[in-house]
Chains A and B, each alone.
Chain A
Amino acid sequence: MSDLDAFRAEIRAWLEANCPPEMREPVADEDDVCWGGRNFKFKNAAQKAWLDACVAKGYTVPDWPKAYGGAGLSAAEAKVWREEMARIGARPPLSSFGIWMLGPALLKFGTEEQKVHYLTQIARGEIRWCQGYSEPGSGSDLVSLQTFGEDQGDHWVVNGQKIWTSYADKADWIFCLVRTDKANKYQGISFLLFDMTTPGVTTKPIRLISGNSPFCETFFDNVVVPKAQIVGELNRGWDVAKYLLGHEREMISGAGGGDRLNAIGAVCARNGGLEDPILRAELAMFDVDALAYGAMGEKFMDEVKVGRAHPAQPNMMKYAGTELNKRRHELLMAAGGSTALEWGSEATDGGKPSRSWLRTKANSIEGGTSEVMLNVIAKRILDLPGA
């Protein structure tokens, strides 16, 4: 038996003993997701037991070093972990922007002290993070952001407003892009971390065309941020932000998997027949594109693992994946007919088809619009002039 086989056997036995049956059911609702944090209310004892068991072994972040709360698994071992989790349909013990976004940035740019402190908190699910990037006047042109941190010696005083801050009303801390030099556009931004309970921080939820949303407006009124809470160098926060955006785009592109890769024609046919030959043809064309994109996702992940992917390729994945997902939901609405229009009925579980359809319209806006993705592809991959 190879070391990896032995490891697989060990993981399998551990999961068998520690993953409660309830945590092997598919995630059906938002409150099935464990986000952690100071104020998180566990849905049931199983959700807490599953988190605690994983935290004790470092399995909330299996490939992070042990010193920072991870399990220190190699890439091959982490893959085994994911495969064994998938085999029994285990839910992620912990979902968090800390794991997906801030963590990778801290691992690359953080000081040793920051890594030990913040990464450990993230790994244990103690602190829930939100991301302070976009501003009302700075969407695609993010680098024009105006939220300003005034230097007061041992701290900054931050004033300004963020928007589209997911879960700001539930988060404990924020990682935030703040202008610290008004004279330099790119090299005048710093990456700051601060507590959302700091006096002067307020949040306000945003209602979307699809209904309630996790998005908030976040306001900063003379918020005091100690100097130690900067990641990377002063005025070099843009480098951290760009690195982190790469991770966000990979996540939104669904490169790692997810339902947007699936063909939908067969499901639509089962749910009511496809008497309309034009709709059937459109579904078939979609399925071709979805299955082809699935192969692209697989190829992309394979190439990422061995460092063969073009560094700007996540932009292509994000562009193609989100455009495909929008098309998917247009077709699901068409296949659903008038039933899919129901906004509050039991039959549609409170208007799920139409709410999901509307929500997908944001896919090609959030995390960089499709138009920005195309700009990046033109410049960094195709090397077109002046782009």
Chain B
Amino acid sequence: MPLYHSEDQAMLADTVTGFMAEEGAIKKQLRHWRDRNCQDGFGHALWKQFAELGLTGILAAEADGGMGMGHVEAGIVLREIGRNLTPSPFLATSVMGVTALAAASDDLRGRWLPGVIAGESVLAVAVDEGPKHRPERIALAAEKSGNGFRLKGRKDFVVHGASADALIVAARTSGTDGDADGVTLFAVPRDSAGLGHNSVRLVDSSMASHVTFDGVELSGDCVIGDVDGGRAVLNRMLAAGRIGSAAELTGVGQGAFDITTGYLKTRKQFGRLIGEFQALQHRAAHLYSELEIAEAATIKAQQLLEAGSDRAELMVSVAKAKASRACNLAVREGVQMHGGVGMTDEFDIGLYMKRDRALAEFMGDAGYHTERVARLSGY
């Protein structure tokens, strides 16, 4: 498969690019909701518009009412989300949540997918425990209780958790924290007794919860896949989230790069456009190179993941690590090259820097994935 978009994918990209630049623009969404102290961190009307375009169900099977598309197509949407800093529950809901639910029973899919696809429901993902992404260790306990389970423990960095209709929770049903086996995935409804949210605003204006599970009672039908056999489903969901956040990062980096090179072509100092200075030209050219490579790695990983290749996990980590580093360089250079105005809230470049920081942490930062590349390579 060539590493560029097919005709169908290019058509999707055209549609999504126009839609996101118009409806998902920074002024219309990110700044709008931030300045109103919106407790969701995104607009429900826009989520409805996502549904009208079919984007909410992009990864859901056609039999479930979705578009039945793959990671390359989801990545096209995420790149435009990144470019416009569009706040939405797309990554957690339509990419990660839907990927997890693909392993769920007909009943469970029937309970959650129609609302998601209609743009009426939102899912959130509860994996991390503590400030860093370490999904190899799952401690949150789910003990047998009657015909169901009782969940006890806490989860962190649950992005827009307080707005979600259901949480996809990775819990331990047997063994100890570091065991690969003994993990079970649950779809936990928002109104479950004993579920507590401490919702906080993050640096990028998104909302995330510290979620407490204080003896949350769940029936057995909330289990996604097999009890104790959730690791494989969790890994699929994580891979989808990692390559998805890599794709969004390439968009954030590209957006930051475009406004920065635009600035280099208009700002004058010493009687010249600052883009004439070789010190800035070389840094911009280097950054271009890094962003191109990050995008190529991301598309490669999307294709391998879609094809079920045994190299997919390695390339997913390569892509997340590379996209994180390239995007981070883009926002740092962006603020620096903007000079003083880059520090002001009036200019958008600082918003890109904030979003990069949050996305870099989401689903494992560059260090985590670089280390994972070493382990997967056998050293």
Residues of A within 8 A of B (CB): 263, 265-266, 268-269, 274, 280-281, 283-285, 287-289, 291-293, 295-296, 298-300, 302-303, 305-306, 308, 316, 319-320, 371, 373-375, 377-378, 381-387
A-contact bits for B164-198, CB 8 A (1 contact / 0 none): 00000000000000000000000000000000000
Q: Are A308 and B264 in contact (CB under 8 A)?
A: no
Query: Is B359 among interface residues, defined by CB-CB distance under 8 A?
Result: no
Q: Which residues of A contact B299 (CB under 8 A)?
A: 295, 299
Q: Are A303 and B4 in contact (CB under 8 A)?
A: yes
Q: Which residues of A contact B272 (CB under 8 A)?
A: 386
Tally B residues with Cβ within 8 Å of A.
42
Query: Is B371 among interface residues, defined by CB-CB distance under 8 A?
Result: yes
Nearest to B369 among chain A residues (CB) is: A288
Q: Are A285 and B370 in contact (CB under 8 A)?
A: yes
Q: Are B297 and A387 in contact (CB under 8 A)?
A: no
Q: Are A265 and B379 in contact (CB under 8 A)?
A: yes
Q: Are B281 and A280 in contact (CB under 8 A)?
A: no
Nearest to B264 among chain A residues (CB) is: A384
Q: Are A299 and B374 in contact (CB under 8 A)?
A: no
User: Which one of B4, B285, B314, B373 contacts A377 once the chains associate, using CB atoms below 8 Å?
Assistant: B285
Total contacts A-B at CB 8 Å: 137
Q: Are B2 and A374 in contact (CB under 8 A)?
A: no
Q: Are B276 and A295 in contact (CB under 8 A)?
A: no
A-contact bits for B314-356, CB 8 A (1 contact / 0 none): 1101110110010000000000000000000000000000000
A-B contacts, 12 of them at CB < 8 A, read: A263-B377, A265-B374, A284-B370, A292-B294, A293-B293, A296-B297, A298-B300, A373-B285, A384-B261, A384-B276, A385-B273, A385-B276
Q: Are B318 and A288 in contact (CB under 8 A)?
A: yes
Nearest to B370 among chain A residues (CB) is: A284
Q: How far is the CB of B279 from chain A (nearest CB, A)?
A: 11
Q: Are B373 and A291 in contact (CB under 8 A)?
A: yes
Q: Are B285 and A292 in contact (CB under 8 A)?
A: no
User: Which one of B288, B315, B317 contacts A316 once the chains associate, using CB atoms below 8 Å?
Assistant: B288
Q: Are A292 and B289 in contact (CB under 8 A)?
A: no
Q: Are B3 and A386 in contact (CB under 8 A)?
A: no
Q: How far is the CB of B76 from chain A (nearest CB, A)?
A: 15
Q: Are B314 and A283 in contact (CB under 8 A)?
A: no
Query: Is B292 among interface residues, defined by CB-CB distance under 8 A?
Result: yes
Q: Are B264 and A381 in contact (CB under 8 A)?
A: no
User: Which one of B273, B318, B321, B374 contacts A386 once the chains associate, using CB atoms below 8 Å?
Assistant: B273
Residues of B within 8 A of A (CB): 2-4, 261, 264-265, 272-273, 275-276, 278, 281-282, 284-286, 288-289, 292-294, 296-297, 299-301, 314-315, 317-319, 321-322, 325, 369-371, 373-374, 377-379
Contact A295 to B282, CB < 8 A, known contacts A266-B378, A269-B379? no
User: Which one of A274, A302, A381 contacts B2 once the chains associate, using CB atoms below 8 Å?
Assistant: A302
User: Which one of B286, B322, B374 contacts A374 once the chains associate, using CB atoms below 8 Å?
Assistant: B286
Q: Which 6 A-B pairs have the closest CB atoms?
A: A269-B379, A295-B300, A292-B297, A299-B3, A377-B285, A378-B281
Q: Are B288 and A274 in contact (CB under 8 A)?
A: no
Q: Are A381 and B288 in contact (CB under 8 A)?
A: yes
Q: Are B285 and A385 in contact (CB under 8 A)?
A: no
Q: Are A374 and B281 in contact (CB under 8 A)?
A: yes
Q: Which residues of B contact A280 (CB under 8 A)?
A: 374, 379
Q: Which residues of A contact B3 (CB under 8 A)?
A: 295, 298-299, 302-303
Contact A320 to B289, CB < 8 A, known contacts A292-B297, A303-B4, A385-B273? yes
Q: Are B370 and A281 in contact (CB under 8 A)?
A: yes
Nearest to B371 among chain A residues (CB) is: A284
Contact A384 to B377, CB < 8 A, known contacts A292-B319, A299-B300, A303-B4? no
Q: Are A320 and B370 in contact (CB under 8 A)?
A: no
Nearest to B257 among chain A residues (CB) is: A382
Report the separation of the CA atoms of residues A4 and B284 in the bound assembly, to the nearest whole angstrom: 44
Report the separation of the CA atoms of residues A280 and B373 in the bound assembly, to the nearest whole angstrom: 11
Q: Are A299 and B296 in contact (CB under 8 A)?
A: yes
Nearest to B320 among chain A residues (CB) is: A288
Q: Are A316 and B292 in contact (CB under 8 A)?
A: yes
